[in-house]
Chains A and B, each alone.
Chain A
């Protein structure tokens, strides 16, 4: 899932690259949402008394509940969402997927044990671990989104990569996913926690790739190598090299090839048949549909269609569904608030003097830390 420890690393080394925003600040923005990721979240989180919501036939409807109400919330805030669905996983990921399957099996065993022992807490815990987004879930969600008038994009491969491509092309403002690899794929702006429940009061985190690179003092290719070294979905990483060390190594040697040549491979053994070059290629040229060929169109919701789809067997409350449809329709009428940056040009003018001082301070801190060999976390 994403890049190991990257968000923490960015928060530590390049805090200026992360901004905390409120959801209402994104009015008028088009945002590409990693659908598989949010469906997974909904399956985990949208529950009643610990159990997933189900239809008459016992089929899960948590993902539909989540997709319906959270999308309405986004749209009410003036956001125009686009859902991007995963295609087939790249071959490189099979290893990672096998591992996940193994873990799932383990969880299943644990679940059985817990059920026998009657341990409620563990039952719930392992139940959640068994959650998987199936093709069926995705198809249902797509059908729902179409009825809601929200565009859906089928990525040929990884959804994060497709989101990143959409942002890069300027078709949308940002990619919303919890997976940090959207940055590795080159998405200029990444949003996290966008589809979280309102009740959790989580601010939306906005990552800017250029600020991340600036803060880490790397260019994009070096950043990709760093991500591979940290641990990505496509290949293993070197045991014993943590985030701090990884940044130092990449900053010093600039490419993964040079790092390999310069470290003691006895002590830090790279995995056998380590195909980092292919992983790198996947990040640089992921398999995506050309954004030019994608047309994003928002349309009016189909109220009757929604009622037919959600109520009936799926046991949604008709009144609430109709209300939701009305909210969607209302959000489409009326005007949207413009933004000043659309009229005036922004020139970011950091305070040069202070900046220089800060750099000096940081440098001093860094030195102090390395000489102390400190493993301590950077104080917040």
Chain B
């Protein structure tokens, strides 16, 4: 028996919004510790890794480890049926081939349940090595979303370069070029609005704007976003979800062409 209950369905709704454009289907791996999801997009350029810890739920029970393959489009349709303030409960029997979502309105007057068929997915899991990154940048998530949106008008790819002075996002295309520089915030009054850069070595990498724009769908989950970069390894974009976990996106950089 698996059962997980959240007082506010909005978290789950936002999580789905944050991944459903990138992935069409994914496996939710549930165990004692919570719910994990790891999946690559079809072209194997990016990866989503979601963790929702058991202690972040109001009620969490998982007798046997269970992996539920879900069609994220269908799941998103179901979650759209829930009110933001509704309580949501996910339930599944051991070995079940369906999962049930129960939504309860705050005053308990309306209770709805939706059953969804599970899919049998063989998914490729990626072993992600523990990496010390040369640069980590924390900035307001809305700011990052804005930068990605603005720069994607100029070109397909965006260069992120991090130096001691700050971080620079730039794009070049047919209409011209764009550069956005962010300096480290001098005094931190409001932590949520701060730009914090930790850097051992300067790094410059190029990424596809399209994917970054997919990632920023997670903006509503967290006021801050953290970018981690090292030369020649994938970028990590992390959004912490308060009290319950995080969602991390990995994106392979664009590389210089070689002829061999």
B-binding residues in A (CB < 8 A): 16, 21-22, 24-25, 27, 297-299, 332-351, 353-355, 357-358
Contacts and interface: CB of A to CB of B under 8 A. Distances in A.
Contacts of B69: 351
B206 interface: yes
Nearest to A339: B44
B126 A335 contact: no
Interface of B: 27, 40, 42-47, 67, 69, 95, 120-129, 157, 206, 208, 233-234, 250, 252-257, 259
A-B pairs, top 7 by smallest CB distance, nearest first, are A338-B252, A335-B254, A344-B126, A350-B122, A25-B43, A346-B124, A345-B127
A67 B253 CA distance: 31
Contacts of B259: 297-299
Contact of B257 (A299, A336, A354, A355): A336
A229 to B, nearest CB: 29
Contacts of B253: 338
Contacts of B128: 344
A353 B27 CA distance: 14
A348 B42 CA distance: 15
Nearest to A299: B259
A348 B125 contact: yes
Max chain B Cβ within 10 angstroms of own Cβ: one of A27, A297, A336: A336
Contacts of A358: 120
Nearest to B250: A340
A333 to B, nearest CB: 8
B249 to A, nearest CB: 11
A333 B259 CA distance: 11
A347 B124 contact: yes
A354 B96 CA distance: 10
B14 to A, nearest CB: 24
Nearest to A26: B43
B254 A340 contact: no
A337 B206 CA distance: 9
Nearest to A19: B42
B257 A335 contact: yes
Contacts of A343: 233-234, 252
B67 A351 contact: yes
Contacts of B234: 338, 340, 343-344
Contacts of A16: 122
12 contacts: A22-B42, A298-B259, A337-B255, A338-B253, A341-B44, A341-B126, A343-B233, A344-B129, A344-B234, A346-B125, A349-B123, A351-B121
